[in-house]
Homo-oligomer: A and B are copies of this chain.
Amino acid sequence: MKIAVLNGGSRQGGNTKILTEKLVKGLEVTTFHLEEYTIKPIMDGRHDEGGFHPVDDDYESLMGQVMSHDLLIFATPVYWYSMSAAMKLFIDRWSQTMREPEYGDFREQMSKKQAFVLAVGGDSPYMKALPLLQQFQHIFQFVHLPFSGYVLGQANKPGEIWEDHQALFAADEMNKKLHTMIKA
């Protein structure tokens, strides 16, 4: 059972990173720092003759690697009450992937994985990040990817996440769950 962390944050040693490390402690994971990849905004080709055009960037290779994992952890700072643009760039391109012949069974592949969300925000995330969670719910439902849990955290300044005991506890609990899943 292979675990991928999709990290949408931009800051070195940021709060999202700290909380994510707690979440995956003792586990073997591959972390993809999305900001390190060049991913262009999707050009909607769903209804074009010939469909989507190939795009010269890192998306396809990245997506290929991501899809070889079984547990996908979407770890993002809450920027303006939703996922970071770096993460949104990545997810928007799924529209293209769903039409690639090699992903003809995209939903079936996804249905066998599990998704977790970790999101850290500075402005009342326990209330104002709820729409973000609902969006992830819709996204995962659309691709038949089971939504197995989430952790919210509140933090602004670097390191401030250490003061959000509830977030730390939730990350620990989910860490235990992941360890159990890995063994199973």
What residues make up the interface of A, taking CB atoms closer than 8 Å to B? Answer: 9-11, 14, 35, 41-44, 47, 77, 79-86, 88-89, 91-92, 94-95, 123, 126-128, 130-135, 137-139, 142, 147, 150, 157-158, 165-166, 169-170, 173
Give the complex CA separation of A165 and B176 in angstroms. Answer: 12
7 A-B pairs with the lowest CB-CB distances in the bound complex, closest first: A131-B131, A85-B88, A131-B134, A85-B89, A81-B138, A130-B130, A41-B86
Asked whether A79 lies within 8 Å of B142 as measured between CB atoms, the reply is no
Asked whether B41 lies within 8 Å of A35 as measured between CB atoms, the reply is yes
CB distance from A36 to the nearest CB of B (A): 10
Asked whether B166 lies within 8 Å of A44 as measured between CB atoms, the reply is no
Give the complex CA separation of A135 and B130 in angstroms. Answer: 9
Please indicate the chain B residues that have their CB under 8 angstroms from the CB of A91 in the complex.
80, 85
Would you mind naming 5 contact pairs between A and B with Cβ atoms under 8 Å apart?
A10-B44, A82-B88, A85-B88, A85-B92, A130-B133
Give the complex CA separation of A143 and B112 in angstroms. Answer: 26
